């Protein structure tokens, strides 16, 4: 499976997002009303104020605070090189990420877990909000489906069926991919960012998801996992 792809022309990525404001009370009044209306059918018995901690899921109400990317390296022994773009200033982060992509081939393959549903469209939406041009590797308009070089490890696991979300953690467990148990999970990111001011901790968590996704790709291809000594985190 996936033997037709050259891993050296593939970039794995993951993003971390948070609500644009630390609490519902700080949201401008017009956006409070829009938030209330947007989430009415989803929050069930929760109030709009309590539900706001999940606002990072929506690109209209959230922002990106970290994008981690990984590229495969080496010849006979494959390695992984991981770098992160993180900042409280979303536009600055996106500009640096876009500049990095501009130095890569236009046919570079981008891969993420649930990337087609979340990571890729979220990045594009936030780039437009920040007045930035969408990099060619993320651009969809005018392209035929087979011209879009996006891989989604969750979509690949579906094999054409319509089952719901399958987490990266579950797939890592199925394929016996070691993952650290001493870190945060996605539901804690907003709290760690707004209440603990630990962007560095979120960055580490994001990098670990990139490594896990890269290892999952290797498993899909029937290949050995990348050993720890061949994984490099670029500071």
Q: pLDDT tens digit string along 48-101?
A: 999 999 999 999 999 999 999 999 998 788 999 999 999 999 999 999 999 999
pTM given for the model: 0.94
Structural domains in the chain? 7-20+61-234 (3.30.420.10)
Phi, psi dihedral angles at 60 (to 5 degrees): -75, -25
Q: pLDDT tens digit string along 115-129?
A: 999 999 999 999 999
> What is the rounded CA–CA span in Å between residue 149 and residue 132?
21
Local structure of residue 231 (DSSP, 8 states): E
Computed over every residue of the chain, the mean pLDDT equals 92
Is a pLDDT exceeding 70 seen at residue 147?
A: yes
CB 91 within 8 A of CB 132: yes
E strand or H helix that includes residue 127: helix 120-129
- pLDDT, position 116: 95
Q: pLDDT tens digit string along 93-118?
A: 999 999 999 999 999 999 999 999 99
How do 79-86 and 62-73 pair as beta strands? antiparallel
């Amino acid at each position: 499976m996936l033997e037709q792809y050259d891993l050296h022309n593939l970039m794995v990525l993951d993003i971390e997002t948070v609500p644009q404001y630390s609490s519902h009370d700080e949201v401008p009044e017009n956006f409070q009303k829009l938030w209330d209306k947007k989430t009415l059918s989803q929050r069930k018995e929760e109030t709009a104020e309590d539900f706001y901690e999940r606002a990072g899921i929506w690109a209209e109400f959230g922002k990106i605070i970290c994008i981690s990317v990984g590229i495969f390296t080496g010849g006979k022994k494959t390695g992984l090189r991981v770098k992160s773009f993180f900042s409280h200033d979303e536009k600055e982060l996106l500009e640096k990420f876009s500049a990095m992509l501009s130095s890569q081939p236009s046919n570079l393959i981008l891969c993420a877990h649930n990337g087609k549903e979340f990571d890729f469209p979220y990045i594009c939406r936030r780039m437009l909000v920040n007045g930035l041009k969408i990099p060619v590797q993320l651009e969809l308009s005018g392209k035929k489906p087979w011209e879009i070089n996006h891989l989604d490890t969750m979509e690949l696991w579906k094999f054409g069926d319509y089952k719901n979300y399958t987490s990266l953690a579950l797939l890592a467990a199925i394929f016996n991919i070691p993952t650290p148990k001493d870190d945060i999970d996605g539901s804690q990111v907003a709290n760690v960012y707004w209440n603990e001011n630990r962007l560095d901790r979120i960055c580490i968590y994001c990098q670990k998801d990139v490594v896990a996704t890269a290892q999952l790709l290797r498993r899909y291809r029937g290949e050995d996992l990348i050993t720890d000594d061949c994984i490099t985190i670029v500071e």
